[in-house]
């Protein structure tokens, strides 16, 4: 079974359980972080004058003090509920049973790993956003000139920049989450976990890319639809409901296949 089929099969079979765990952080992340906000930027790019880096950056990452407070809440929720999600899926893989209780143990056991993981993801995200903004500014100056709205050449260049960076970003995300799975389950130190994650992702490049690209493309379609109908927050929620569980599911599938561990949840029983 290829990775894409395996990820979506697990996602749809256990949608209710996954939904219950991720809905709270998803609502806050969609409201504060807007991970697909570059779609809205591209939609308005040809009518927005661009003079400097800040014009692009603040269009993608708008800032307010209230937004910063919500951002901090979203990060805390992501750490807590990400810990729960990793633990519950791992236990389901090992035992064949998806159990909501107990909740305290997975939070206590995984919280430090998820803290490090989320901080690394945030750092990588900021780096990618800054690089994207700089490259878009460069192409904008070349094709349209500073202080002018984008023309077709600048728009196509910006789309290309964001598409390439998005592919690189989801690969980085796969690596980070695979390392998180290794730290959570094996108790590996950070350096060892990333070394193992490189092997997990590197040995299965095409399968991993396809398994991550599919949910991301669906999420982008939701986000684009939200921009055009004026319901970005709602469609961002749908996008994150797909991406957040699917990325964590993939990281654990990678881990179990890398270490040749059997999955009890895939075994047929009398009732399925």
> How far, in Å, CA of 132 to CA of 136, rounded?
6
pLDDT in tens, 195-241: 999 998 887 777 888 888 889 888 888 888 887 777 777 888 888 89
- Residues 108-141 pLDDT 10s: 678 899 999 999 999 999 999 999 999 999 999 9
Tell me the average pLDDT across 136-158: 92
- Distance separating alpha carbons of residues 100 and 198, to the nearest angstrom: 31
Helical segments of 96-146, H only: 104-143
Burial-class residue 77 by CB neighbours within 10 Å (0-12, 13-18, 19+). Answer: middle
Nearest-angstrom CA–CA distance, 159 and 216: 15
* Range with the largest mean pLDDT of 79-83, 144-148, 176-180, 199-203: 176-180
What pLDDT was estimated at residue 36?
Answer: 77
> Would you state the pLDDT for residue 268?
60
Percent of the chain having pLDDT more than 90?
40
- Higher pLDDT residue, 164 or 68? 164
Q: Are 132 and 33 in contact (CB under 8 A)?
A: no
Q: Model pTM?
A: 0.90
Can you tell me the mean pLDDT for 151-175? 93
Closest CA to 211 of 174, 162, 161: 174
Query: What is the spatial distance between Cα 221 and Cα 164, in angstroms, rounded to a whole number?
Result: 17
Helix (H) or strand (E) holding 262: none
Report domain extents, the chain. 3-264
pLDDT > 80? residue 1:
no
3-state helix, strand, coil split of the chain in percent (to 5) is 80, 0, 20
CA distance 21 to 217: 23
- The answer to whether residue 270 scores a pLDDT higher than 50 is no
């Amino acid at each position: 079974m290829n990775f894409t089929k395996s990820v979506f099969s697990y996602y749809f079979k256990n949608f209710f359980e996954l939904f219950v765990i991720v809905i709270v952080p998803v609502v806050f992340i969609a409201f504060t972080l807007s991970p697909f906000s570059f779609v809205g930027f591209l939609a308005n790019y040809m009518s927005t004058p661009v003079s400097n880096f800040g014009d692009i950056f603040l269009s993608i990452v708008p800032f307010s003090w209230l937004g910063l407070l919500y951002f901090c809440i979203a990060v805390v929720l992501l750490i807590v509920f990400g810990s729960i999600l990793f633990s519950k899926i791992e236990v389901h893989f090992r035992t064949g049973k998806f159990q909501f209780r107990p909740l305290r143990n997975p939070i206590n056991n995984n919280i430090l790993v998820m803290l490090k993981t989320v901080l690394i993801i945030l750092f990588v995200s900021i780096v990618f956003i800054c690089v994207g903004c700089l490259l878009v500014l460069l192409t904008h100056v070349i094709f349209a000139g500073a202080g002018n709205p984008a023309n077709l050449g600048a728009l196509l260049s910006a789309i290309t920049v964001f598409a390439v960076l998005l592919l690189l970003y989801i690969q980085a995300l796969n690596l980070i989450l695979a390392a998180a799975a290794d730290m959570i389950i094996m108790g590996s130190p950070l350096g060892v976990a990333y070394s193992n994650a490189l092997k997990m992702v590197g040995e299965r490049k095409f399968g991993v890319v396809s398994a991550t690209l599919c949910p991301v493309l669906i999420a982008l379609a939701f986000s684009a639809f939200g921009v055009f109908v004026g319901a970005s927050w709602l469609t961002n929620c749908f996008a994150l409901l797909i991406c957040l569980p699917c990325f964590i599911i993939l990281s654990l599938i990678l881990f179990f296949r890398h270490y040749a561990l059997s999955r009890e949840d895939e075994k047929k029983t009398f009732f399925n």
